[in-house]
């Protein structure tokens, strides 16, 4: 455990490495009581470093040093300084070979960083700084070396031995042991190193690249998961083809491997040629995975594969540049998912996450720019801002340049920087050079934290037939950043006539037949735009397809929103109008007297959605979902969660009661006939049906109950079975709920991924997930503190999704979370630091709640030996 006060690291203090490593030869001797790591590095002084007499400094963490030799000669203990987190060797020549032998204990590694054991197999996670707990090494992404890795282990227990690159040698050793040697011909930073040793089954396939090379594709899983690999393998092949066609990127090694691991802090990791996945992000079958899991798996498999170019071949100079690889790669995987399914639905899902969670982060104590200027613990910066807002920034560049110039820019970026560790600025420069566009103001998106607010006022001049938009933008203050400059915002819009027809957007009196959609480029604090030749006051459709990650303020009337809900040609804005209307109705009921009326036109709009079968059913399925409590919290000034929950419940109850027969009709009609399919249409029908079912059970409808029990019994896929279970769990049918939960667990108790679903269905439900029940789940034999997925599915789901139960007026939810964070901090600080996040926004809540949240944070701060991970989050939350 590191106990010293964590240091802040600043971007502007970046220095080039004093020494470079050209080649690393690793030899791992794996045993049950530990592992010996022999590392031989070919080192030379960096010609770009001015300090020629600098000592060699290698990073380390929790290592037992056994020996150091330089150019084959063992060094005495006086010849180097072993400081624990650093190994310093002074007086080294300009070029030399350094051999370091360390002893580590993977079996006791509960942090799941570096080399550790999961379900009896050895595996690694080295991003961001895990390699330093394997051996002493310059553990920074701008040191790129060629790796050769020999793994030695017991042959019976670990028949499969994997590392990066291509296998070059294997053989038998004394004592029933064996070895395999791997060589990676591409230079890479240590964070992309990976090793796996275990008793795994191998699933094989091949892929022929655009230039005709045959690539071996391999998946390695535990024998019980052998039947759950097909979907990920197919997703991989689709991703490989797509990256060739859309980005011109061909795979480079002879083999590409995926390994599934149960205990994993992240979703997956893009190690060169050897991707390691959290089991829940790769294993799937119709009977055990929901539609949402299938889509998530396809996206994550693609994401990690795409990193082979955007991340591995071209990597980050330092960790401040994390969004260079993550923002670009999330953008690429979002494009891929849109191409594989419904682009509008994908956009709605991405924006929902962005507006609910990233905007909250941007407005909270951990707010930071897409390229942060400082950090204490880099693990805390694997954030929605780096990933999702970073992807939005790339999307805006695409929007401003157009598809062709964007592709030219990406080609130039890969060609210019192949084999290098670079910065977000290098990325933007490649885009500028390829397109001839000036993106200097646009760069503020990387530098300024906070979500820009765009305020729109309109004015119609009947005499001149001119409609004018006055648009102001401002970026709110965030911790450490005030007085921000206006940003370069692509603002897509259209105008509709009263009859619902799109109108031409003529920017001058001379222009006739202008386009029906335009992208205005906002660059100043205040700008006006005039649209000519309009014989009536139009209805504006603003920020179409969410063309920029901003908050738009415009005084929409409920009439306008109802109109846009049924007439906007932009599917995203249609959905958005429905969300804004529902938000407006719910907000007007927060704290309202008992008998307050629910807007009757909302019922009419939802009835139309439920009954008009000519509408895009995938879009309808999304439009029927009411805004979440988390989003309503995010939109409030001083959130009172029980009041928000009550208002939302009231609207839901009113809608379900008023539309009871329509819901029954929709449920009966929306049955996907035949074989289970993963098409957007079939997914939409299942989603519609499950929403209708949930609403019927919400009002304790007996026919709904019969539907749910029958659906649970006869479902041929997990989406429908879990949909029925969820509806029962969230209902007041207490006996049926308990029965279904018992039956579900009995049926799936040997499948950890399904048990995680079972945990989270309960922990996220107000009916089934009150604190005493959460405590029971933690005591359940299937719960395991060492497994991050289990922790997330109970503690994470309770604090993050079961808002009304978590925000109890007595503060018990907050104290519970603080206790669990303290408990977890000793074994897995990374997960503990992520788990604490619901408490960090205490200022967002009404004082009675906020003060108790703050007290819970202070309680965590009082813990002795707090990890740097949790320390940074608590410190920033309390000092903001």
H or E segment and range at residue 790: helix 788-791
Residue carrying structure tokens 């958005």:
576
Q: Closest separation between CB of residue 457 and Zn ion, Å? A: 40
Q: How far is the CB of 558 from Zn ion (least distance, A)?
A: 41
Taking CB under 5 A as the binding criterion, the range among 74-82, 166-174, 318-326, 708-716 that sits at the site for Zn ion is: 318-326
347: Cβ contacts below 8 Å, ≥ 6 apart: 338, 545, 546, 572
To which H or E segment does residue 432 belong? helix 424-435
Hunting for tokens 């896929």 — which residue is that? 717
Q: For Zn ion, which stretch binds (CB under 5 A), given 81-89, 319-327, 353-361, 868-876?
A: 319-327
116 versus 328: smaller Cβ distance to Zn ion:
328
Pairing of the two strands 268-269 and 274-278: antiparallel
Query: Which element (helix H / strand E) includes 630?
Result: helix 629-635
Q: What's the closest the beta carbon of residue 123 comes to Zn ion, in angstroms?
A: 18
Please give the structure tokens belonging to residue 456: 């729109």
Q: 421 or 754: whose CB is closer to Zn ion?
A: 421
Nearer to Zn ion, 391 or 729 (CB): 391
Is 377 in the active site?
A: no
Bridge partners of residue 95, in order along the sequence: 44
DSSP 557-610: -HHHHHHHHHH-SSHHHHHHHHHHHHHHHHHHHTT--TTPPP-HHHHHHHHHHH
Asked if the peptide bond before residue 521 counts as cis, ω within 30 degrees of 0, the response is no
In sequence order, what DSSP letters do the residues of 807-841 get, joined into one string? T-TTSHHHHHHHHHHHHHHTT-HHHHHHHTHHHHT
Nearer to Zn ion, 353 or 635 (CB): 353
Q: What minimum distance in Å lies between the beta carbon of 127 and Zn ion? A: 9
Minimum distance from CB of 502 to Zn ion (Å)?
Answer: 38
Query: Distance between CA atoms of 183 and 453, rounded to whole angstroms?
Result: 51
| Residue span binding Zn ion (CB under 5 A) among the ranges 63-71, 323-331, 440-448, 759-767 | 323-331
Taking the complex as a whole, the smallest distance from the CB of residue 387 to Zn ion amounts, in Å, to 7
- Sign of the C-alpha dihedral computed for residues 579, 585, 588 and 593 taken in this order: negative
Q: Cβ distance 564 to 541 under 8 Å? A: yes
| DSSP code, position 156 | T
Q: Considering only 178-186, 321-329, 478-486, 840-848, which stretch makes contact with Zn ion by CB under 5 A? A: 321-329
- Strands 19-31 vs 145-154: parallel, antiparallel or unpaired: parallel
Distance (Å, whole) CA 383 – CA 423: 18
Provide, rounded to whole angstroms, the least separation between the CB of residue 35 and Zn ion: 27
Residues in region 682-711 near Zn ion by CB under 5 A = none
Do 699 and 733 form a contact (C-beta atoms < 8 A)? no
Contacts of residue 408, defined as CB under 8 A and 6 or more positions apart, other chains included, come to 434, 435
Of these residues, 304, 361, 599, 634, which one is catalytic?
A: 304
Burial of 207 (0-12, 13-18, 19+ CB in 10 A): middle
Q: Burial of 267 by CB count in 10 Å (0-12 exposed, 13-18 middle, 19+ buried)?
A: middle
C-beta of 326 vs 662, nearer to Zn ion: 326
Tell me whether residue 341 or residue 390 sits nearer to Zn ion (CB atom). Answer: 390
* Vertex 387: Cα angle to 489 and 869 (nearest 5): 130
Residue of 529, 434, 531, 437 lying closest to 488 (CA atoms): 437
From the CB of 630, what's the least distance to Zn ion, in Å?
A: 24
Residues touching Zn ion: how many (CB under 5 A)? 1
Alpha helices (H) in 161-262, listed in sequence order: 230-247
Give least dist CB 369 to Zn ion, A.
Answer: 19
Residue 25: other Cβ atoms inside 10 A: 18
CB of 489 to Zn ion, least distance (A): 26
764 backbone dihedrals φ, ψ, rounded to 5°: -95, 5
Tokens of 689: 């049906």
**Cα torsion for 657, 659, 665, 669, to the nearest 10°?**
-110
Q: Specify the residue, 329 or 560, whose C-beta has the smaller distance to Zn ion.
A: 329
Residues 269-308 close enough to bind Zn ion by CB under 5 A: none
> Of 326 and 361, which CB lies nearer to Zn ion in the complex structure?
326
Q: Which is nearer to Zn ion, 181 or 312 (CB)?
A: 312
**Shortest reach from residue 329's CB to Zn ion, in Å:** 5
Site for Zn ion in 591-650 (CB under 5 A): none
| Closer of 266 and 878 to Zn ion (Cβ) | 266
Pairing mode, if any, of strands 489-496 and 518-522? Answer: antiparallel
Cα–Cα distances in angstroms (integers) from residue 528 to residues 400, 457, 465, 467, 468, in the given order: 20, 9, 16, 10, 7
Closer of 389 and 580 to Zn ion (Cβ): 389
Nearest to Zn ion of 291, 326 (CB atom): 326
Provide the 3-class DSSP secondary structure of residue 22: strand
CB of 268 to Zn ion, least distance (A): 8
- Nearer to Zn ion (CB atom), residue 25 or residue 326: 326
Cβ–Cβ under 8 Å, residues 275 and 298: no
- Touching Zn ion, residues 324-383 (CB under 5 A): 326
Distances, alpha carbon 452 to alpha carbons 42, 232, 479, 523, in Å:
48, 38, 15, 12
Cα-only R_g, the chain: 28
| HSE (side-chain half, CA atoms, 13 Å) at 689 | 24
Least gap, CB of 195 to Zn ion (angstroms): 20
Enzyme catalytic residues: 304
Which residues bind to Zn ion, rule: CB under 5 A?
326
């Amino acid at each position: 455990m590191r106990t010293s006060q964590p240091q802040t690291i600043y971007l502007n203090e970046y220095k080039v490495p004093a020494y470079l490593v050209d080649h690393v030869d690793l030899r791992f001797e794996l045993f049950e009581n530990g592992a010996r790591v022999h590392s031989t590095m070919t080192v030379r002084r960096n010609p770009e470093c001015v300090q020629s007499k600098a000592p060699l400094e290698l990073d380390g963490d929790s290592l037992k040093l056994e020996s150091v030799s330089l150019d084959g000669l063992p060094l005495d203990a006086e010849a180097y300084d072993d400081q624990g987190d650093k190994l310093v060797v002074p007086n080294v020549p300009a070029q030399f070979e350094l051999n370091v032998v360390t002893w580590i204990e993977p079996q006791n590694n509960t942090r799941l960083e570096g080399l550790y054991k999961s379900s009896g197999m050895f595996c690694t996670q080295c991003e961001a700084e895990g390699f330093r707990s394997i051996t002493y090494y310059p553990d920074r992404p701008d040191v790129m070396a060629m790796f050769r890795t020999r793994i030695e282990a017991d042959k019976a227990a670990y028949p499969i031995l994997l590392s990066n690159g291509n296998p070059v040698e294997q053989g038998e050793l004394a004592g029933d042991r064996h070895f395999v040697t791997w060589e990676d011909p591409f230079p890479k930073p240590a964070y992309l190193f990976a090793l796996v040793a275990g008793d795994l089954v191998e699933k094989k396939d091949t892929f022929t690249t655009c230039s005709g090379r045959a690539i071996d594709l391999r998946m390695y899983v535990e024998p019980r998961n052998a039947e759950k690999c097909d979907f990920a393998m197919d997703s991989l092949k689709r991703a490989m083809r797509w990256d060739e066609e859309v980005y011109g990127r061909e795979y480079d090694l002879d083999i590409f491997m995926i390994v599934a691991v149960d205990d994993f802090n992240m979703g997956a990791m893009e190690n060169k040629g050897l991707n390691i996945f959290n089991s829940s992000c790769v294993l799937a079958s119709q009977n055990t995975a929901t539609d949402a899991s299938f889509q998530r798996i396809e996206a994550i498999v693609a994401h990690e594969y795409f990193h082979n170019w955007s991340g591995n071949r071209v990597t980050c100079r330092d960790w401040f540049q994390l969004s260079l690889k993550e923002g670009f790669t999330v953008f690429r995987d979002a494009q891929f998912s849109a191409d594989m399914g419904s682009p509008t639905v994908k956009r709605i899902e991405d924006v929902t996450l962005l507006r609910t969670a990233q905007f909250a982060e941007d407005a909270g104590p951990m707010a930071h720019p897409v390229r942060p200027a400082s950090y204490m613990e880099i693990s805390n910066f694997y954030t929605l801002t780096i990933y999702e807002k970073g992807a939005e920034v790339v999307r805006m560049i695409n929007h401003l340049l157009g598809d062709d110039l964007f592709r030219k820019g990406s080609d130039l970026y890969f060609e210019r920087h192949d084999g290098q560790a670079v910065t977000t600025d290098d990325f933007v420069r490649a885009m500028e050079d390829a397109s001839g566009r000036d993106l200097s103001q646009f760069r503020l998106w990387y530098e300024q934290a906070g979500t820009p607010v765009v305020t729109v006022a309109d004015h119609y001049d009947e005499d001149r037939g001119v409609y004018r938009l006055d648009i102001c933008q401002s970026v709110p203050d965030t911790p450490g950043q005030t007085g921000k400059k206006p940003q370069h915002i692509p603002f897509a819009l259209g105008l509709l006539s009263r009859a619902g027809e799109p109108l031409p957007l003529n920017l001058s009196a001379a222009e006739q037949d202008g386009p029906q959609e335009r992208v205005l480029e906002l660059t100043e604090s205040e700008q006006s735009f005039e649209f000519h030749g309009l014989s009536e006051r139009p209805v504006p459709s603003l920020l179409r397809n969410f063309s920029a990650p901003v908050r738009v303020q415009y005084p929409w009337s409920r009439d306008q929103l109802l109109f846009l809900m049924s007439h906007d040609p932009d599917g995203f804005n249609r959905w958005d109008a429905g969300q804004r209307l529902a938000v407006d109705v719910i907000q007007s009921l927060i704290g309202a007297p008992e008998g307050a009326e629910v807007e009757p036109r909302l019922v009419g709009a939802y009835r139309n959605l439920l009954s008009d079968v000519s509408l895009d059913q995938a879009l309808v399925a999304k439009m029927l979902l009411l805004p979440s409590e988390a989003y309503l919290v995010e939109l409030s000034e001083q959130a009172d969660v029980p009041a928000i929950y009550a208002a939302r419940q009231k609207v839901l109850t009113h809608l379900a009661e008023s539309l009871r027969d329509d819901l029954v009709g929709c449920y009966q009609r929306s049955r996907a006939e035949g074989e289970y399919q993963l098409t957007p249409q079939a997914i939409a029908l299942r989603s519609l049906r499950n929403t209708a079912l949930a609403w019927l059970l919400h009002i304790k409808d007996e026919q709904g109950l019969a539907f749910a029990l029958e659906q649970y019994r006869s479902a041929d896929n997990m989406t429908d079975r879990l949909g029925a279970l969820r509806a029962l769990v969230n209902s007041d049918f207490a006996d049926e709920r308990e029965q279904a939960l018992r039956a579900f667990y009995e049926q799936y108790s040997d499948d950890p991924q399904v048990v995680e679903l079972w945990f989270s269905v309960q922990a996220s439900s107000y009916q089934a997930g009150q604190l005493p029940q959460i405590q029971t789940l933690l005591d359940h034999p299937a719960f395991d503190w060492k497994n991050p997925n289990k922790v997330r599915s109970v503690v994470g789901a309770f604090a993050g999704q079961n808002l009304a139960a978590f925000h109890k007026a007595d503060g018990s939810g907050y104290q519970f979370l603080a206790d669990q964070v303290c408990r977890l901090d000793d074994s897995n600080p990374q997960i503990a630091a992520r788990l604490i996040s619901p408490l960090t926004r205490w200022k967002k809540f009404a004082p009675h709640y906020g003060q108790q949240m703050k007290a819970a944070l202070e309680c965590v701060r009082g813990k002795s030996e707090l990890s740097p991970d949790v320390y940074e989050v608590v410190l920033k939350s309390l000092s903001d």
